[in-house]
Amino acid sequence: MDHKTFFIGGEWVQPSGSNRIDVINATTEEVLGSVPEAEPADVDRAVAAARSAFESGWGQSAPAERADVLDRVADALEKRIDELSLVISQQNGMPHELSRAFEGHYVVSVFRYYAQQARAMQTEELRASPLGSSTEVRRSPIGVVAGIVPWNYPVLLAVSKIAPAMAAGCTLVIKPSPGTVLDSFIFAEAVQEARVPAGVINWVPGGRELGAYIVSHPGVDKVSFTGSTAAGRAIGQACGALLRPVSLELGGKSAAIILDDADLDEVVNGLLHVAIPNNGQTCAASTRILAPASRYDEIVSAVAAWATSLKVGDPLDPGTDVGPLASKEHRDRVEGYIAAGRESGARIVAGGARPSQFNRGWFVEPTVFADVDNSSTIAQAEIFGPVLAIIKYDTEDDAVTIANDSEFGLGGSVWSTDHERALSVARRVQTGTIGINGYALDFNAPFGGVKASGLGREFGPEALAGYQQLKSIYHAG
Ligand code: NAD
Nearest ligand 1 atom to the CA of 454 is: 41
User: CB atoms < 10 A from the CB of 457, how many?
Assistant: 20
Measured at the CA of 139, the angle between CA 135 and CA 144, to 5 degrees, comes to: 150
CA-closest residue to ligand 1 atom 30: 227
- Please, which pLDDT band fits residue 132 given cuts at 50, 70 and 90? confident
Does the C-beta of 454 come closer than 6 Å to ligand 1? yes
Q: Compute, in angstroms, the gap from residue 250 CA to the centroid of ligand 1.
A: 7
Residue 423 has pLDDT above 80, yes or no: yes
Domains of the chain: 6-250+452-475 (3.40.605.10), 255-442 (3.40.309.10)
- Residue 276 to residues 97, 120, 256, Cα–Cα distance (Å): 14, 37, 12
Which of 283, 335, 382, 396 is catalytic? The answer is 283
Does the C-beta of 449 come closer than 6 Å to ligand 1? yes
Does the C-beta of 212 come closer than 6 Å to ligand 1? yes
Residue 161 has pLDDT above 80, yes or no: yes
Taking only Cα atoms into account, the Rg of the chain, rounded to an integer number of angstroms, comes to 23
Residue 452 has pLDDT above 80, yes or no: yes
Average pLDDT over residues 54-60: 97
Residue 65 has pLDDT above 80, yes or no: yes
Average pLDDT over residues 292-314: 98
Nearest ligand 1 atom to the CA of 229 is: 32
Q: Compute, in angstroms, the gap from residue 49 CA to the centroid of ligand 1.
A: 25
Confidence at residue 1, expressed as pLDDT on a 0 to 100 scale: 83
Q: Compute, in angstroms, the gap from residue 9 CA to the centroid of ligand 1.
A: 26
Does the C-beta of 148 come closer than 6 Å to ligand 1? yes
pLDDT tens for each residue of 233-261: 999 999 999 999 999 999 999 999 999 99
Nearest ligand 1 atom to the CA of 234 is: 18
Confidence at residue 476, expressed as pLDDT on a 0 to 100 scale: 85
Q: Compute, in angstroms, the gap from residue 105 CA to the centroid of ligand 1.
A: 23
Does the C-beta of 102 come closer than 6 Å to ligand 1? no
Nearest ligand 1 atom to the CA of 447 is: 40
Confidence at residue 351, expressed as pLDDT on a 0 to 100 scale: 98
Average pLDDT over residues 392-404: 98
Does the C-beta of 103 come closer than 6 Å to ligand 1? no
Residue 463 and residue 457 in contact, taking contact as beta carbons nearer than 8 Å: yes
CA-closest residue to ligand 1 atom 19: 212
Does the C-beta of 234 come closer than 6 Å to ligand 1? yes
Q: Compute, in angstroms, the gap from residue 145 CA to the centroid of ligand 1.
A: 17
- Please, which pLDDT band fits residue 158 given cuts at 50, 70 and 90? very high
Confidence at residue 131, expressed as pLDDT on a 0 to 100 scale: 84
CA distance 253 to 381: 7
Does the C-beta of 433 come closer than 6 Å to ligand 1? no
Per-residue exposure over 392-404, b if at least 16 CB sit within 10 Å of its own CB, e if not: bbeebeebbebbe
**106-119 and 154-168 helices, crossing angle to 10°:** 10
For the chain, percent of residues with pLDDT exceeding 70: 100
CA distance 293 to 296: 5
Q: Compute, in angstroms, the gap from residue 224 CA to the centroid of ligand 1.
A: 11
Q: Compute, in angstroms, the gap from residue 76 CA to the centroid of ligand 1.
A: 27
Does the C-beta of 108 come closer than 6 Å to ligand 1? no
Residue 404 has pLDDT above 80, yes or no: yes
CA-closest residue to ligand 1 atom 43: 283
pLDDT tens for each residue of 308-338: 999 999 999 999 999 999 999 999 999 999 9
Average pLDDT over residues 448-460: 98
239 is catalytic: no
For the chain, percent of residues with pLDDT exceeding 90: 99
The DSSP annotation for 188-203 comes to HHHHHHTTPPTTSEEE
Does the C-beta of 381 come closer than 6 Å to ligand 1? no
Confidence at residue 420, expressed as pLDDT on a 0 to 100 scale: 98
Question: If DSSP codes are grouped into helix, strand and coil, which group holds residue 390?
Answer: strand
Residue 194 has pLDDT above 90, yes or no: yes
pLDDT tens for each residue of 256-295: 999 999 999 999 999 999 999 999 999 999 999 999 999 9
Q: Compute, in angstroms, the gap from residue 92 CA to the centroid of ligand 1.
A: 14
Nearest ligand 1 atom to the CA of 251 is: 34
Does the C-beta of 252 come closer than 6 Å to ligand 1? yes
Q: Give phi and psi for 37, each to the nearest 5.
A: -95, 130
Residue 477 has pLDDT above 90, yes or no: no
- Please, which pLDDT band fits residue 460 given cuts at 50, 70 and 90? very high
Confidence at residue 303, expressed as pLDDT on a 0 to 100 scale: 98
Nearest ligand 1 atom to the CA of 177 is: 9
Write down the mean pLDDT value for the chain.
98
CA-closest residue to ligand 1 atom 12: 208
Does the C-beta of 253 come closer than 6 Å to ligand 1? no
Listing from the earlier edge strand, what are the strands of the sheet with 246-249?
Answer: 201-203, 171-175, 144-148, 222-226, 246-249, 454-455
